[in-house]
Amino acid sequence: MATVKSWMLDRLLRLLTARPLDPHADPRVIRERLNRLAVRFSGKTQGVNVEKFDLQGLPAEWLVPHTPDQNGTLLYLHGGGYVVCGPDTHRPMVAALARNAKTRALVIDYRLAPEHPFPAAVEDALKAYRWLVAQGTPPESITVAGDSAGGGLTLALLLSLRDAGDPLPAGAALLSPWTDLTMSGWTHVTNRKRDPMLSTEGALLASHHYLAGASPSGPLASPLYGRFEGLPPLFIHVGGNEILLDDSLRLAERARAAGVSVEIKVWPDLPHVFQAFRFLPETRASLSLIGAFLKASMEQGATARQAAD
């Protein structure tokens, strides 16, 4: 059942998204506006140190909790339809995850469309992961997480690593992942009027910018159509009001059928990536559970590594 605060959020989001979608809007202008708003209104990031740096030509930042007790690393891939957002827009949410998991988090500002279409984002995620390993970070101590498009990108990264023979991370957390760019999920229909955040038209426009003519059903663009054998444990949180709800439900079903450990939680009456709204009690609960999963995955990875040694 929705809380009063989640009901208020639903009303607010409907007001903010009431204006008809402009298919000719320049994503670069929208991106710059969102980043400015994030810097202006997000406030001081609590409980972590922010360290910006250059990762082989890729803007990146470390979020390091003041009192970490994990030697592992979280690689976070932000959402935004592959066309908007970045570390500035996602810093408070990733900081909360880093604090809850008690580990440092690496956030990369991967290249965005339309300037850098598919597969640029996948290439940058691979670069960041391989850089971590080359720096001496054991793969068993790495976890990966992402929201929306970043959740799909997280899965594309796992598929790419497995197929290339790279060592895999200890686990992956997915927040409202966008796994199907063909938009074939039934909740695009059933939740069309319930979702105050996303529209199928908006998702189609983002995929148009990102794919730039590439097939929407390829497994690195739409990981739902990939093979899941051999992937690490997956932890999925998704809102019950989302048009992308089926992207998570079908993913969990297909991953389990492939023998992958999957835990999925559907949060009733909540919108897409509700964890971005810090005032919700559900946000605190969700980020706490995700942080606990990430922490446990890194601990299990460390134990397995010690046993192997």
Upper half-sphere CA count for residue 175 (Cβ side, 13 Å): 30
Amino acid at 240: G
Q: Which residues, other chains included, contact 212 with Cβ-Cβ below 8 Å and sequence gap of 6+? A: 113, 114, 117, 118
237 is catalytic: no
Q: Which residues, other chains included, contact 85 with Cβ-Cβ below 8 Å and sequence gap of 6+? A: 31, 34, 35, 78, 79
Q: Which residues, other chains included, contact 196 with Cβ-Cβ below 8 Å and sequence gap of 6+? A: 10, 13, 14, 17, 241, 271
- DSSP-derived secondary structure letter, 214: S
CA gyration radius, the chain: 18
Cα(15)–Cα(63) distance, integer angstroms: 33
Which of 6, 242, 248, 286 is catalytic? The answer is 242
Which residue bears the tokens 């989640």? 6
Which of 148, 222, 286, 297 is catalytic? The answer is 148
Which residue bears the tokens 């990536």? 273
SS3 content of the chain, % helix, strand, coil (to 5): 45, 15, 40
The answer to whether 83 and 27 have CB atoms below 8 angstroms apart is yes
Beta strands in 115-230 (DSSP E): 142-147, 171-175
Which of 272, 282, 286, 297 is catalytic? The answer is 272
242 is catalytic: yes
Cα(68)–Cα(92) distance, integer angstroms: 17
Task: Please give the order of strands across the beta sheet that includes 73-77.
Answer: 48-55, 58-65, 104-108, 73-77, 142-147, 171-175, 234-239, 262-267
Q: Which residues are catalytic?
A: 148, 242, 272
